[in-house]
Amino acid sequence: MSECIFCKIAAKEIPAQILYEDDVMMAFHDVAPQAPVHILMISKKHIISLDDCKKEDEELLGKMLNKVKEIAKSAGMENGYRLVINCGEDGMQTVQHLHFHLLGKRKMTWPPG
Ligand code: 5GP
Ligand code: ZN
């Protein structure tokens, strides 16, 4: 867990452009943005992926999902946004710590790549 980059960001051992933080989550700008605004929302708790969430994590997941709109609005995404959770190998998850991608300020395409 000590090698987890998002745990290190949550512990402020690695700097990030933090937009929001409370006792259970943090939001910061992605270092390699895929849209004009690309925010990552992470749980402070080290959970590997959506696949690894347990019953006890339901409140945390609900809080994170319900916070999306507030962070989106504060980042200027008045016209909508896309929320992405990559999970596992086929989902192309590269950081093994639960996170939401919140992308906006451009028109998205569908289907995603
Ligand atoms: P995944 O591919 O796991 O869904 O997303 C991981 C995301 O984390 C990628 O978009 C990548 O750019 C971002 N990322 C990886 N390392 C860092 C970092 O040290 N700082 C920040 N801000 N973002 C990172
Ligand atoms: Zn972690």
Residue-level pLDDT at 7? 98
| Averaged pLDDT, 13-28 | 98
Give the helix ranges, DSSP H, for 11-85: 58-74
Ligand 1 atom 18, closest CA = 31
104 φ/ψ angles, rounded to the nearest 5 degrees: -165, -175
pLDDT in tens, 34-66: 999 999 999 999 999 999 999 999 999 999 999
How confident is the model at residue 52, as a pLDDT? 98
| Phi and psi at residue 15, to the nearest 5° | -75, 150
Tokens of 59: 């409140």
pLDDT of residue 1: 52
| 0.85 exceeded by pTM | yes
- Does residue 31 line the site of ligand 1, with CB under 6 A? yes
Question: Domains of the chain by range and CATH?
Answer: 5-104 (3.30.428.10)
Residue 41 CA, ligand 2 centroid: distance in Å: 12
pLDDT above 60: residue 33: yes
Residues 76, 30, 70, CA angle at the centre, nearest 5°?
Answer: 35
